[in-house]
Amino acid sequence: MERRVKLLGTGKYLPARVVTAAELDEQLGLATGWTEKKSGVRIRHYVTTETAAQMGAIAAKRAAEAAGVSLQELDCIVCASGTAQQEIPCTAALIQEELGLSRTGIPCFDINSTCLSFVTALDVMSCAMAAGVYKRVLIVSTEIASMGLNWKQKESCVLFGDGAAAVVVGQTPEGESSRIISSAMQTYSEGAHYSEIRGGGTMVHPRHYANGHEDDFAFDMDGRKIFRLTSQLITGFVDSLLAKASVSKKQLQAVIPHQASGMALRIMRTKLGFMEQQMVDIMADHGNVIAASIPMALHEAISQKRVARGDCLLLLGTSAGLSLGGIVLEY
């Protein structure tokens, strides 16, 4: 189960355009303070001209630089995002193009479990590295959430921001102990329709957009139902994941959670019994950046020196599906 891989470097990119809670209060006709109080988000970023691949490429360059790895040394590029730049081809190929690697042959593909995409990608790609298939893998999560927001659902639209985060993963050198200790994922599709965008694929094609299907192309979330199902499952899920890793809650230097919402983070912490200083909470100045939230919080924790080599970390999140996912690793 253990896989000797090391997170060599991380990077992030945020669009220049900052959208404040006050701006959304006004735009949505809400009482001053409503957005920040309900979402826990003071500012989030929205793209202006950036594409997902451009944001991902900048985050990737920063991650490679932090890792001390040249882009040409990468032997796989995985895009792990809940949104795609275009239907065909996969976003990873478009990131390869933005990175100036278009003649290198470095394999590119996408892994998608919505908000858990990064966790899923790290999990399976660490196995591919353990099997010797790859040596230095770039995982990029790049999300333009602002494109699909549902302005009729004020509870959800105030949560999200755009941005990208990237991690270069390598094999652990001899004599070092960085590794993935254990991982787990569970999907309960009884909650498959608790958060969804029904349109855009082969079921409700974009040609139907203007025929009264606008709502099918916006994010539709039932926060109450998600909360109820997640609450039933999360404690058992985390206990079993930590038991499998033989790591106690106290041994975790940091918990890197998906930044679902300010409230979700508070409830997760108290329900699971983590200390406030263990939780990496970047919600207030990033918002929920879909799959980029976890690697971005990881990047912030590393940049702020809240975690050091040898520390035990827990990556933990929930996603549309409805899924729970987590990885215990030694950084």
Show contacts with its own copies in window 144-163 (CB under 8 A): 144, 147-148
Kindly state the smallest distance separating residue 10's Cβ from its own copies, in Å.
22
- State the minimum distance, in angstroms, from the CB of residue 204 to its own copies: 7
Which residue out of 45, 108, 112, 288 is catalytically annotated?
288
Name the residue with tokens 């998600």. 226
**Listed residue (54, 44, 1, 4) closest to 21, CA to CA:** 44
Strand partners, 7: 169
State how far the Cα of 144 lies from the Cα of 162, in Å rounded to an integer. 5
Q: What residues from 235 to 294 belong to the interface with its own copies (CB under 8 A)?
A: none
Please, which residues have CB within 8 angstroms of residue 270's CB and are 6 or more apart in sequence?
none
Cα 41 from Cα 43, distance rounded (Å): 6
Among 19, 59, 67, 106, interactor with its own copies by CB under 8 A: 106
Question: Does 189 help bind its own copies (rule: CB under 8 A)?
Answer: yes
Q: In terms of C-beta density within 10 A (0-12 exposed, 13-18 middle, 19 or more buried), how is residue 317 classed?
A: buried
CB of 53 to its own copies, least distance (A): 9
Stretch that binds its own copies, among 15-23, 110-118, 167-175, 246-254 (CB under 8 A): 110-118
Does the annotation count 150 as an active-site position? Answer: no
The letter for the amino acid at 193 is H
**Helix (H, G, I), strand (E, B), or coil: what is residue 115?**
strand
Binding string, 113-142, against its own copies, x = CB under 8 A?
Answer: xx-xx--x--xxxxxx-xxxx---------
Q: How many CB atoms lie within 10 A of CB 37?
A: 12
Q: Which of 76, 112, 157, 258 is catalytic?
A: 258
Output DSSP code: residue 173.
Answer: P
Determine which residue in the list 16, 72, 192, 304 makes contact with its own copies, applying CB under 8 A: 192
Can 213 be counted among the known catalytic residues? no
Q: Any idea which residue has 């940091």 for tokens?
A: 254
By three-state DSSP, how is residue 84 classified?
coil
Mark 62-81 with x for binding to its own copies (rule: CB under 8 A) and - for no binding: ---------------x----
Contact status: 207 vs its own copies (CB under 8 A): yes
CB atoms within 10 A of CB 309: 11
Site map for its own copies, 295-324, x if CB under 8 A?
A: ------------------------xxxxx-
Q: Judged by CB under 8 A, does residue 230 bind its own copies?
A: no
The answer to whether residue 24 forms part of the interface with its own copies (CB under 8 A) is no
Judge whether 288 counts as a catalytic residue. Answer: yes
Active site residues: 115, 258, 288
